[in-house]
Amino acid sequence: MTDIIDELQWRGLIAQSTDEQALRAALAAGPVTYYCGFDPTAPSLHIGNLVQLLTVRRLQDAGHNPLALVGGATGLIGDPKETAERALNDPEVVAGWVDKLRAQIEPFLDFSGPHAARMVNNLDWTADLSAIEFLRDIGKHFRVGRMISKETVAARLNSEEGISYTEFSYQILQGLDFLELKRRYGCVLQTGGSDQWGNLVSGVDLIHRVEKETVHALATPLITRADGTKFGKTESGTVWLDSSMTSPYTFYQFWLNSDDRDVIRYLKVFTFRGHEEIAQLEQEVTERPAGRAAQRALAWDVTALVHGRHEAAQAEEAARALFGSGVLAELEERTLAAALREAGAPRLEAGAELPTYVDMFAEAGLVSSRSAARRALAEGGMYVNNVRLDPGLGPDARPGREDLLHGRWLVLRRGKRTVGGVELA
């Protein structure tokens, strides 16, 4: 690749830009200061935000100077959604979320050296801004006709919900951010998702009007799934970067379950693997899809990037151990617990005696009924902690407390592929 624009294009990371040739020339001419914003509208970033985080990182690795903005001001409002008005969170809550997001963003960037990153908060230049100053100095440069033509705003205006002036003004605030960062740090490029395009160009237009200078915007595409379902969602909800909201095991499994039609695209977007490595994995998908080498590489890379190599190794080992290819006793309890809860492990009362195997397999949903559990036991198809139960055991057989992993868990398996478990209180 000859430059960072070529690299981003190869990775499928450019959906729109204000003037690609001018941006290419600016990036080639020397270090460019650029920014990307993240609003604290939740206590954690999610995997959709990873696209932006990694794009910021790629630009820094190419020799440019990043500003990571956590929106202590814009987070009090929230970018308009197409469907409905956002709930406004208390300032104290938003301030706490600012700190959480900063802590999540910082490991992705280098804050030392000639291209050191800088964290910024737009509350610093809006907190003392009066309504009159906002309207006279900033608002006068925005034309309502153009503002209502923005895709999200137009959708809301045509809905029963409508849009409040608060959310309508969001694009003005984001434009102000770009202007302030241009004045304070010489920032000339803003990156964001393609759903933010209207907000990105609002800053470009504002700077052109106020400073009589040309700056740039670059939007990455929204990531989709080949089957049409929403990326970043599972049956249990959003896939978050915070390990207390989405466990590293669940996070790993999300990427491991990627469709063959998606996995190469995801490797380009979410990992730092190069052209030759990804080409080799693409060949593996074509020639040996059952091996799922590309999915395993993707799951390892992204989990290690977000949660560290230790958590990635634990998640990988748990995935193997649940199906009899690893040692269950070597798994940390929180990893085992996350894996079994992901499998839907019920919590059973132990009482004086532990439940029977028949009862546990039925309660865990690995068989359709207790009679089916008895048949599975007699046929030799039941495994506990990866050990096959003797078909000669009667229906009243039960484990001992010494069999419990970490004193409370049992891994249950029906045949080779149907895995579950129970938590015994």
401 neighbors 383 (Cβ within 8 angstroms): no
Copy the structure tokens of residue 354. 């532990």
Is 174 one of the annotated binding-site residues? yes
Q: Per the annotation, does 182 bind a ligand?
A: no
**What's the Cα-to-Cα distance from 230 to each of 225, 239, 261, rounded to whole Å?**
6, 11, 15
Angstrom distance (rounded) from CA 54 to CA 56: 5
233 a known binding residue?
Answer: yes
Contacts of residue 214, defined as CB under 8 A and 6 or more positions apart, other chains included, come to: 19, 22, 208
171 is in an annotated binding site: no
Which tokens is 266 given?
A: 């995801």
Q: What b/e string do you get for 382-396 counting C-beta neighbours within 10 Å, with b at 16 or more?
A: bbbbbeebeeeeeee
Q: How many residues make up the chain in this entry?
A: 425
The residue among 198, 202, 161, 157 whose CA lies nearest residue 179 is 202
With CA atoms as reference, report the closest residue to 315 among 304, 324, 305.
304
Please state whether beta strands 65-70 and 118-120 pair in parallel, antiparallel, or not at all (unpaired).
parallel
Q: How deeply is 229 buried, as exposed, middle or buried, from its count of CB atoms within 10 A (0-12, 13-18, 19+)?
A: exposed
Q: How far apart are the first and last CA of the chain?
A: 57
Where is 33: in which H helix or E strand? strand 33-38
Annotated binding residues for ATP, written as ranges, equal 233
Annotated binding residues, written as ranges, equal 35, 170, 174, 233
Annotated binding residues for L-tyrosine, written as ranges, equal 35, 170, 174
